[in-house]
Structure 1
Amino acid sequence: MNASDTPRRSGLRGFGHSGPSPWTDLDRPPLDAEALRHDLLVPGGLWTSLDVVAETGSTNSDLAARARAGAAQGAVLVAEAQSAARGRLDRQWTAPARSGLFLSVLLRPEEVPVERYGWLPILVGVAAASTLGRIAEVEVGLKWPNDLQMEIDGAERKLGGILTELSGGAVVVGLGINVTLRAEELPVPTAGSLALAGAATTDRGTLLRALLRELAGLYREWTAAAGDPHASDLMRAYTDRCTTLGRPVKVHLPGDTELAGEAVAIDRDGRLVVRTPDGARRAVGAGDVVHVRPEPR
């Protein structure tokens, strides 16, 4: 998710209450929660509840509290705006109200060994990239581990990201995607949005339906394979979309250390394997990856 200083926000507080109307920005209509529930909460489906709130601090924090209270698998929480959202490495993430998809889902993959839970954020990234390619007709890659990335005006831009947390025996996965952010609203120069990429659609309801359906299908395949990334085909699906593999990288590791080399593989635990200049291979489970441009010859 995008790390940024706080940009301009709309001040939306709640539908049906005094204050700014949710229709203040006609390019950004509110989501129709009732229609979403009608289409997505189906018998035998993964999704068991779906709530849309006008504003909250963090959908991940809210859903984590529900998980600790025993909420069932399949809960979905969507916010039109967040005031205290977090990205990876505890970065602040902010965006104007109704300018993107800001949601969290609660999963209880009881069929999967805990050591394979690290594949869940990767699975969500694959679902998001696949959905955006199919519905929005834009080419989206995944910078390791799960930053949604696309090319705009010849430069790599970050479209969104994913944050996973364990809570109450469940996994809460948060996802943020920039949909209609305008150039002047971008939190950092390296950010992007579907609108700026010329997406075929920026209708958030359409995108959300497709995303949750895609995610449900991939999740069922993964859990049926007990989380095995090869048996579920998740490894292939991810490596096909990973923009980090085969490139020179610098990885900023916890503890203010840095690892430089070539990203050569993803291992069975979802870690990035970096080959250093001396030929050694090192698997990285956490860190901030920077794609390094090759030196001109």
Structure 2
Amino acid sequence: MTPQDASDANGGRWSDLDRPPLNAAALRRGLVREGALWSQVEVVQRTGSTNSDLVAMAAEGRAAEGAVLIAEEQTAGRGRLDRRWTAPARSGLFFSVLLDPAEVPVHHWGWLPLLTGVAVATGLSRAAGVDTALKWPNDVLVTVGGEERKAGGILAERAGERGVVIGVGINVSLRADELPVPQAGSLALAGAVSTDRDPLLRGVLRALEEWYVKWRRAGGDAGLCGLQEAYAAGCATLGRTVRAELPGDRSVTGEAVAVDGDGRLVLATADGVQEPVGAGDIVHLRNGGGSGR
């Protein structure tokens, strides 16, 4: 029995009965099996960033493809553009996975965070019974009081020459007075039928495995495996007027009309130009429920 399992068993961390600890042993039994993607599952009580830790583990040879690192609490979680992600202990799912799609051309790897977004939306729909949408490229949105709120985010980082570490943060049981910013949300506030994190995590990881295997078998071709269509179907950004804040203090405003084969957001500008955006911050301006990042 690991220290984590012993802590689970003795109940020493049940300081908040609404937020029980994850059951590491049960997660391993449900996810690590012969022929499955997930090769190891580790739960830690507290860390700065699961992404940083898993990148280091991969560099040291302590993690291979399919490794999953989960934290009950993150103190230095990071989102896109180095934004901080903080939440009370055991109030969400904070985890990272190590993938190594060596047979997929590197120019297709940009689809991995979008693929993860589709998997998160799929898994939460199944396990929590809550409707989610994706804001390009990889924010997870829920509806709270008729307004879109960000309940999760995804961050992909290279781990050496071959691997990619993908971090996921999802607000599960955050109450209104615990939200870090007014634009944030949680599954509980969105009316989830369950906030039990064990089945939520299993659901997301199983959906991630399903999509990753399809994408990898298709050689990373998002159109061939149905990923491009699935992402577009769940993307709240498409059909809206948005402002793309790009590197170099440049911005482009236009209607988001498509996600292309490389995962880029295509904007149709007022002067008739279609401009693909591969990196940047997207602000929803109108058409489809308010404004916000």
TM-score of the alignment, normalized to the shorter chain, above 0.5: yes
Which of 65-74 and 22-31 deviates more?
65-74
Structure 2 SS opposite 1:197: coil
Matches within 5 A, 1:78-157: 78-157=70-149
- The residue that corresponds to 1:43 in the other structure is 34
| Contact map agreement 1:101 1:179 (CA 8 A) in 2 | yes
Structure 2 SS opposite 1:195: coil
Among 215, 218, 227, the residue aligned to 1:222: 215
Quote how far apart the aligned CAs of 1:69 are: 2.1
| Contact map agreement 2:245 2:281 (CA 8 A) in 1 | yes
Structure 2 SS opposite 1:119: helix
Among 18, 21, 24, the residue aligned to 1:30: 21
Matches within 5 A, 1:139-178: 139-168=131-160, 169-178=162-171
Q: What amino acid is the match of 1:34?
A: A
Distance 2:138 2:94 in 1: 16
> Structure 2: where are the runs of 5+ without partners?
289-293
Are 2:172 and 1:194 equivalent residues in the alignment? no
| Contact map agreement 2:97 2:166 (CA 8 A) in 1 | yes
Are 2:263 and 1:270 equivalent residues in the alignment? yes
Are 2:221 and 1:245 equivalent residues in the alignment? no
1:136-186 alpha-carbon deviations (Å, 9 max, x no partner) = 111100000010012111111001010000012200000000000000000
Q: Compute the TM-score of the two structures, normalised by the length of structure 2.
A: 0.93
| Contact map agreement 1:15 1:54 (CA 8 A) in 2 | no
Q: What is the root-mean-square deviation in Å for CA atoms of aligned residues?
A: 1.7
Among 66, 69, 83, the residue aligned to 2:60: 69
Q: Compute the TM-score of the two structures, normalised by the length of structure 1.
A: 0.91
Q: Which has the higher contact order (CA 8 A, sep 6+)?
A: 1
Q: What amino acid is the match of 2:79?
A: G
Q: What amino acid is the match of 1:193?
A: S
> Structure 1: where are the runs of 5+ without partners?
1-13
Distance 2:142 2:283 in 1: 15
Q: How many residues align?
A: 280
Distance 1:293 1:237 in 2: 23
Among 274, 282, 287, the residue aligned to 2:280: 287
Distance 2:132 2:44 in 1: 28
Structure 1 SS opposite 2:286: coil
| Contact map agreement 2:142 2:187 (CA 8 A) in 1 | no
